[in-house]
Amino acid sequence: MTTIVEARGLTKRYRGVTAVDGVDFTIARDTITGLLGRNGAGKTTLMQLLTGQEFATSGTISVAGGTPVENAAVLQHTCFIKESQRYPDDFKPKHVFAAAPGFFPHWDAAFARELADEFRLPVDRRIKKLSRGQLSSVGIIVGLASRAPITIFDEPYLGLDAIARQAFYDRLLADYSQHPRTVILSTHLIDEVGALLEHALVIDNGRIIIDSPVDALRSHAATIAGPADAVEHAVTGLDVLHRERLGGFVSATVAGVSDDSLARARAAGLEVGPVSLQQLIIRQTGGSPTEHEEISR
């Protein structure tokens, strides 16, 4: 596996605020990585550092073998779709799509048209007049049709309904399998993208707190539920992230489990279930669920 992004001690400090705090991580080429975390955790700053839009206070970041800052050789491979991208006031989506091929040599115009149909985007309407969701779909279409070797989506779905979001995930996955590329996707909607992600980077307070393949995260966590005594016995020695009590029953979320311990729990008549990625991350970041479930502003 080739490394395409490498950060070492990467730090970004604004007046009094450390948005990104000495992070080290690598991203493998041609994978879909989820950059997950709460609002203000540092996701956007990290993505801006990745694309040379923001300047690191200290530490280094290397993308496709070089620094991204003012480096045309690196930036030509990137496409950064922001949460609320600004477009020139008089632009219509068709103008954006007409100018895009210059930036993205792998631009697929037919694909862009197809996506515009699917997202029911009026390409001949001024962008200022588009709804929030339609505006988001302009970004999503550019991100997908650009086929940029490094495509970065920063919460690209604001205002999109569940059907359109699903269409985005389906299209991303289908196109990614045909044209493998490095995709970095920041999102709050962890469970929605759970099936999409191969790797998860969870950032909290400017620090990377989870950096792991998603499969490994999932397979090492489980919920064990049943009578309190039996559950407590079963989870002895395991990393208990969370306990929920209901009368004499307990449901425990555990991490770092082995197949053996789960088999023993099952044999003891306990209920063993999977943990959703979202639950797992909420437990590990110690937040309350509602704060993670913000969909739109």
Burial of 195 (0-12, 13-18, 19+ CB in 10 A): exposed
43 binds other proteins (CB under 8 A): no
Task: Find how far residue 242's CA is from the centre of its chain.
Answer: 24
Backbone angles phi, psi at 19, to 5 degrees: -75, -40
Chosen residue from 57, 71, 205, 251 binding other proteins by CB under 8 A: 71
- Contacting other proteins within 93-152 (CB under 8 A): 95-96, 98-100, 102-106, 108, 110-111, 114, 142, 146-149
167 binds other proteins (CB under 8 A): no
Q: Which is nearer to other proteins, 96 or 231 (CB)?
A: 96
27 binds other proteins (CB under 8 A): no
169 binds other proteins (CB under 8 A): no
Which region, judged by CB under 8 A, interacts with other proteins, from 34-42, 53-61, 216-224, 259-267? 53-61
* Residue 187: strand, helix, or coil: strand
Q: In whole angstroms, how close is the CB of 208 to other proteins at the nearest point?
A: 22
Q: In whole angstroms, how close is the CB of 126 to other proteins at the nearest point?
A: 9
Q: In whole angstroms, how close is the CB of 244 to other proteins at the nearest point?
A: 39
52 binds other proteins (CB under 8 A): yes
Q: Could you please report the per-residue DSSP string of 63-78?
A: ETTB--TT-HHHHTTE
Within the chain, what is the greatest distance between any pair of CA atoms? 67
Question: Rounded to whole angstroms, how far apart are CA atoms 106 and 271?
Answer: 50
- Contacting other proteins within 191-250 (CB under 8 A): none
78 binds other proteins (CB under 8 A): yes
How many chain residues bind other proteins (CB under 8 A)? 56
Place of tokens 């992004």: 5
Q: In whole angstroms, how close is the CB of 34 to other proteins at the nearest point?
A: 20
Place of tokens 């999109």: 160
Q: Is 199 left (phi over 0), alpha (psi -120 to 50) or beta?
A: beta
188 binds other proteins (CB under 8 A): no
Chosen residue from 65, 256, 286, 289 binding other proteins by CB under 8 A: 65
CA distances from 166 to 170, 187, 297 (A): 6, 14, 19
CA distances from 242 to 189, 221, 248, 284 (A): 21, 11, 16, 9
For the record, the structure tokens of 94 come out as 């068709």
179 binds other proteins (CB under 8 A): yes
Q: Which is nearer to other proteins, 60 or 219 (CB)?
A: 60
Count of CA atoms in the C-beta half-sphere (13 A) of 186: 23
Contact residues toward other proteins (CB under 8 A) are 4, 48, 51-55, 64-66, 70-73, 75-92, 95-96, 98-100, 102-106, 108, 110-111, 114, 142, 146-149, 174, 178-181
